[in-house]
């Protein structure tokens, strides 16, 4: 009787051991990353676009160029036009220089006549004549200055148009906005691009965001900045990461349909973001589990 009893005890122990369940996760969700679609800021032929899907790009790196030849020629034409207009201003300033010299001489003569008049060595007629000469020259200078004003306004207008074209040339450079990995490429070298046309999509995958949903009871157990355990399926096993709670929604919402069962979708939950450093295994859309410490 002892042997069957021993076998029975072993079977019961094995049954309980096999029925032992793994700890249940506190929350479930999917990994996300901030995706940026880079679009063309100019129109024309794409001269080159040095990137491919999966490539890592650095921030502010010029990865492509849209044809700028027409813009460059327009800029050169405006610069030549500006010099022609400025030459008109040069003639005006030459006249001003002559008038200033004449005015200086006339003012000296007026001072001399005024002194003589004070000493009764000159007549009032001579004083009036010297004063009139100074006034005439001053009016001529004012007239010349008024001729120069529209010329200078035209120069300023041309300079503004040159600056605008220079900005358009700079916008023709396709500059990568962030450090990240190219997710999708929508254009190729040689294609004709329009303003606003998507060229490629990029995202920083070095740090992923796990978006999960928690109930009101769990909300009181955690806080922003708290560290949690994150787990993903890794082959037949699991892989663990350390995460940090970066955001918790202040408003409740119904549980998303894509995550929970029909019965659980009627419950109100709070969205929560967890930042996780990516070692290369984490992908956008991958499911993850969270265990509060």
User: In terms of pTM, does the model score above 0.75?
Assistant: no
Residue 148 domain flag: yes
Is residue 60 domain-shared with residue 178, that is, in the same domain?
A: yes
Residue-level pLDDT, tens digit, the chain, 293 residues: 445 554 444 444 444 444 445 568 899 999 999 999 999 999 999 999 999 999 999 999 999 999 999 999 999 999 999 888 887 776 776 777 777 888 888 888 889 888 888 888 888 888 888 888 888 888 888 777 777 778 888 888 999 999 999 999 999 999 999 999 999 999 999 999 999 999 999 999 999 999 999 988 888 889 999 999 999 999 889 999 999 999 999 888 876 655 545 555 557 889 999 999 999 999 999 999 999 97
Residues 182 and 266 in one domain: no
The pair phi, psi for residue 160, each rounded to 5°, is -65, -40
Q: Which residue range forms the structural domain that includes residue 49?
A: 41-66+173-197
| Residue 182 is assigned to a structural domain of this protein | yes
Q: Would 1 be classed as within a structural domain? A: no
Nearest CA-CA partner of 214 in 259, 244, 276: 259
Query: Do the Cβ atoms of 243 and 290 come closer than 8 Å?
Result: yes
Q: Rounded to whole angstroms, how far apart are CA atoms 7 and 206?
A: 54
Residues in a beta bridge with 247: 273
Crossing angle for the helix pair 124-171 and 69-118, to the nearest 10 degrees? 160
Query: Is residue 267 situated within a structural domain?
Result: yes
| Structural domains of the chain, count | 3
246 falls within a domain: yes
**Distances in Å between the alpha carbon of 192 and those of 47, 48, 145?**
9, 11, 50
The sign of the torsion formed by the CA atoms of 153, 154, 159, 161 equals positive
For 78, residues 6+ apart whose C-beta sits below 8 A from its C-beta are: 158, 161, 162, 165
- pLDDT on residue 254: 76
**Could you give the CA distance from residue 151 to residue 147 in angstroms, rounded to a whole number?**
7
Pair (49, 193) in one structural domain? yes
**Does a structural domain hold residue 225?**
yes
For the domain that residue 270 is a member of, what is the CATH number? 2.40.30.170
Q: What pLDDT score does 257 carry?
A: 56
């Amino acid at each position: 009787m002892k042997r069957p009893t021993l076998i029975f005890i072993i079977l019961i122990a094995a049954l309980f051991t096999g029925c032992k369940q793994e700890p249940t996760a506190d929350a479930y969700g999917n990994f996300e990353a901030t995706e940026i679609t880079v679009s063309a800021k100019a129109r024309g032929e794409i001269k080159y676009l040095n990137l491919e899907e999966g490539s890592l790009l650095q921030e502010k790196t010029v990865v492509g160029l849209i044809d700028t030849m027409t813009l460059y020629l327009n800029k050169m034409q405006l610069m030549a036009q500006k010099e022609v207009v400025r030459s008109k201003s040069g003639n005006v300033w030459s006249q001003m220089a002559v008038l200033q010299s004449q005015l200086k001489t006339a003012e000296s003569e007026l001072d001399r006549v005024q002194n003589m008049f004070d000493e009764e060595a000159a007549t009032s007629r001579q004083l009036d004549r010297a004063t009139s000469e100074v006034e005439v020259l001053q009016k001529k200078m004012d007239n010349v200055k008024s001729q120069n004003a529209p010329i200078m306004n035209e120069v300023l207008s041309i300079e503004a148009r040159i600056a605008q074209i220079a900005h358009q040339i700079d916008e023709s450079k396709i500059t990568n906005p962030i450090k990240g990995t190219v997710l999708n490429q929508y254009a190729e070298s040689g294609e004709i691009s329009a303003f606003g046309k998507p060229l490629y999509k990029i995202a920083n995958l070095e740090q992923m965001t796990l978006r999960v949903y928690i109930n009101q009871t769990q909300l009181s157990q955690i806080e922003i900045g708290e560290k949690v355990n994150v787990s993903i399926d890794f082959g037949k096993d699991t892989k663990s990461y350390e995460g940090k709670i970066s955001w918790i929604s202040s408003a409740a919402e119904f549980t998303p349909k894509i995550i929970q069962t029909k019965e659980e979708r009627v419950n109100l939950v709070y969205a929560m973001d967890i930042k996780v450093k990516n070692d290369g295994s984490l992908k956008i859309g991958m499911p993850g589990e969270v265990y509060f410490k």
